[in-house]
Structure 1
Amino acid sequence: MAFNRPAPQAPFAPDASEPFAYGAPRAEDGAWEEWNPTEESLPAVRGRHRVAKQRGGGLARSSTVLGVGVIAAVGAGGMASANTGKPPVSIALPDLPSVDSLIDGHHHTETPAASLAGVATATATATAVGDDSTADAGEALRSRIMAQAERQQSKADSRATAAAVAKADQQAAEAAAKAAKEASVKAAAAKEKAEADAEKKAEEARLAALAKQYTLPTSSYTITSTFGQAGSMWSSGYHTGLDFAAPTGTLIKAIHSGTITEAGWAGAYGYRTILTLDDGTELWFCHQSSISVSAGQKVSTGEVIGRVGATGNVTGPHLHLEVHPGGQPTGIDPGAWLRGKGLTP
């Protein structure tokens, strides 16, 4: 609101007796009083009014404020552009009165103060926009960095998981292969054992059947000399048979069924009986005291063929037994042959 300043106090008080320029004072005017107009005594100015001219310092101050506002607005926009890397933000400035209009006293609806307030508002708006843009750009950059870190971590986790799965698969495969190998070895061992057990049982059954067909040559005996035993008492330098020591007259029985092919004196063997089996194996019964069969006679298992004696080259009564497969002159171990028939001498 515009108002007039109080008028300066008059330097002197006029004398009432002096005439005024317009004539002498009138009685009806009353006593003369000094008039000092004040803000309260003046009526308010309404409607349009004239802006007083500003001189010197006033214009300079207005221009300075205006320039500072414009520079601040432009600086804020440039800072926002530099910080965010985005296109500059448009700043809308209110229409300002020109300097000439301020000087020549033209009428305006806005005062310079209101115009400068608009500039300040625009500047603040631009600054706020720049700050918001900077914050948005920083948040976007942070989001991109976090997303990239999460992707990298996810890839690392995926690689670690894949490596762990591959290692677990390898270990499982190795364990499975080891288990399969152990199972195979166990199965082979079990199969081998089963086969061995089956063979053993079969052999036992065979020997049991043979034992019914074969028998030991005498009873109540003692084994005194074995096959291959070395000594000077034997002409060949070693023992060629198996000796069953028994008292003279002890019965001698046919070990298996066969044919008597020889029965009589045989020099160092004394009285000897040869029993030939169906497979051609010859069994020699030597040093008998007596012979109960003759050549060509068929005998069966367990049939008596003679008696124990001490005839020939001997040191005491005993049965000297020799085994000659296929009638060969060189014999084999009678003990092993008897065990092969299920008999234990």
Structure 2
Amino acid sequence: MVPALEADPTGQYLPPRSRDALARQWRQQALLAEDELPAGWRRGDVRRARLQNHRLGLPSGGPWHCPPLIDGLALQQHFQQRLMVDLRWSCRSTQADWRRQPKPWPRLVISESQRGGRGRLGRSWQSAPTGNLYLSLLVSLQRVDELSLLPLLSGLVIAELLGRHGVDSGLKWPNDVLVNGAKIAGVLVEADLASRPARLAIGVGLNWWLPATHRGALDRPATDLREQLGNHALPDRTGLLRDLTEGLLQQVDLLEAGQGASRLTAWRSRDLLRGHRLRIDDGHNEYLGRAASIDEQGRLLLQCGDGLKRLSSGEVTRVWIDQ
């Protein structure tokens, strides 16, 4: 028997019978938010909403454009007892309070929107309910000697998945997925190594549709699947989640078997920084040098004036493109 999607006070879960209610929420909250409408327009004005859809280049089978709903029941039926699916309309963050998430694990936490989405270094992640994928895969891991590879392998899974849908992307160490220099996805891995087995949260944000009004609030270029593929070629979100989760679970299995390094050749083939001069801040020091890809632990190799540095973490603050 497939376990039912459960209710929990930490978020608004979505049992199958609530799908009609969710569709109404989409219409009322997602794409008709006040900041999505020109000044002077009122929420609920059918004619103006149609014009707004036209301005955004969206298909308009009705007065509102509604991204296809994530089918949590289909996901749970696919994974059966391998993991529990938690599907929410809104939550603070799929990464929030993950250590207190109830059993069973693995657990896949998905939310249509986040009130406090976050990325690396405490950055906020734009998390409006426009169809983007916000998820955290909570897993346990006995063997942690290759744990440092998990952010890289997770990004590789995303890049390979995008490639199967016709989107050519590259990887920016340590955890960004870029298309033509614009970010389309990011990864945040957090770990509780004090527990045995270790417990991990693999957080992923993938831009399915990021409206121009939201891009304006970002401090770096961003793109989405709609821009890359067009309205009529957008992949099904439920299928994307299924395939992404399968890929992440496979990487966890590789780490458990001590075979994570076998994927590094594939990662290096998509390395966007290799050969470029970089400035990197690791929170303690700033480094200037030329990237020489990564080592077997996933550390960035940076050839500096005083020798080769191996950086396990850091923020790439500037990239010089040699002509």
Larger strand percent: 2
* Structure having the higher Rg: 1
TM-score in terms of structure 2 length: 0.18
- Which structure is higher in helix share? 1
Relative contact order (alpha carbons < 8 A, sep ≥ 6): 1 or 2 greater? 2
Structure 1-normalised TM-score?
0.17
